[in-house]
Amino acid sequence: MSQSFGFQFDNSYSRLPEALFSRCDPQPVTTPAMVLFNSALADELGLEAQPLAERPDCFSGNHPLPGSMPLAQAYAGHQFGRLTMLGDGRAILLGEQIAPDGRRLDIQLKGAGRTPFSRGGDGRAALGPMLREYVISEAMHALGIPTTRSLAVVSSGEPVYREQPLPGAVLTRVAASHLRVGTFQYAAAQQDSALMDTLIRYTLERHYPEKQDSDNPALALLDAVIDKQIALVTHWMRVGFIHGVLNTDNVTLSAETIDYGPCAFMDQYDENTVFSSIDQQGRYAYGNQPGITQWNLGRFAETLLTRMDDDVDSAVEIATERLKAFSARYDASWLAMMRSKLGLTGSDAGDETLAKDLLALMQLHKADFTNTFRSLIGGKPLQGQPYDNDAFTAWHNRWLNRLDRDPQAYDHAWELMRNSNPAVIPRNHQVEKALRAAEDGDLSVVESLLSALADPYAERDSDDPYVQPPKEDEVVCATFCGT
């Protein structure tokens, strides 16, 4: 058996200036045991899935992997609007796996122990939140939404102490990189132009190589990240996903969704929906996500100003122009997405009103977001509550009239809708039920949920438990960070 297990580490981040990280090793745990292992992802990474599934020590910090160079990354973050110097307080980057298809992917242990950035924290993680990240991140991948992924969850055999003792665990996270807006905020705070130039070049090389030879690398990077972030937040809005802690340290420059703490998916549609227990003012509500993404990109632009133009006033003008264009560009992306959800391929002047009128009706009548769009497929009138009223009937007739004017046939519309509207999402009550069972030693509920989430666009019966919205006593009103 090869002791490398297929790991082909490179460590390009460790070759950057040491101002950006601190070298440190994971702290071993008492009795690592494999809880979940993602064999399909292991295969994608070129790893030896079968032997690794039996080696929890490789994913707990107990067995150093050949070629890895562990480090904790430094970064800052506007957390609920306030800038703070941060860094990986409980996560350790092992290195970058070079996959068989040539992709370079970070392999990181989350919950691997204290680092120089831990401050007062213990550097550990609880089993429930790590399972939650595994479930939601793999669901997002199946939904076709850019995301970090989860390779393994290992229990530590040790308690972690929060409000009460909880079983400890380590998550192995896979990402295109862990470069964030906060990485650039941290680098900018060093007031070192050479450091910033190096970081810009590194980010372009890693994520946007087609822009490496741009005359203005900083501006090229800003443009690329804006493009990708517009696409990402549009995806979130498509499926009713609410990130929950959209701080600048959780905005990746690869535009992958990262950090599945108090995130959630809407059941009943309401643009003001908030689940996160720490978001008391609704800063990161569902409907605020495009605006806060623009705000976060503004903070990114600020870090690039001195590298964008020697004349700061000119740089501000250039960056402001890009940021002002965000709203119109996002609106166009949102409308294209909504047309797909409604089976529309052509362009009609009334499409935006048609889409917004449906959402307004859904909010007024507390309609389920996922099931409403899925039920429209086929064109039959929506049945039962909350649809049995004149307003929904009138809207439905308007929509059918619009479909009649579309250049594509009905069959094309239904197929487009099936591919745009999932039948299954990780509903909060199902996730919480699965996590409670796992903490009690029963993994079957998590495994069944993962199986359902693996094919979210497949047809399912309306009485399927993974399709059903929560009953009144199952509704989850708040989610928690779990740190």
Helix (H) or strand (E) holding 447: helix 444-453
Type of residue at 110: K
Strand 21-23 with 104-110, pairing:
unpaired
User: Residue 282 phi/psi, 5° resolution?
Assistant: 75, 25
Contacts 24+ apart (CB under 8 A), 437-444: 438/35, 438/127, 438/128, 438/131, 439/127, 439/128, 439/166, 439/167, 443/35, 443/36
* Backbone torsions φ then ψ of 64, nearest 5 degrees: -60, 130
How far apart are the C-alpha atoms of 374 and 380, rounded to whole Å?
Answer: 11
Q: Which one of 249, 270, 368, 406 is the catalytic residue?
A: 249
The bridge status of strand 165-175 relative to strand 71-73 is: unpaired
CB atoms inside a 10 Å sphere around CB 147: 24
Cα separation, 249 vs 299, in Å, equals 11
Q: Which residues of 116-143 are buried (b: 16+ CB within 10 A; e: fewer)?
A: ebbeeebbbbbbbbbbbbbbbbbbbbbb
Report the candidate in 115, 116, 132 with the shortest Cα–Cα distance to residue 124. Answer: 115
- Does the active-site annotation cover 249? yes
Query: 111: which residues sit within 8 A by CB, 6+ positions away?
Result: 90, 91, 123, 124, 125, 130, 156, 168, 169, 170, 171
Active site residues per annotation: 249
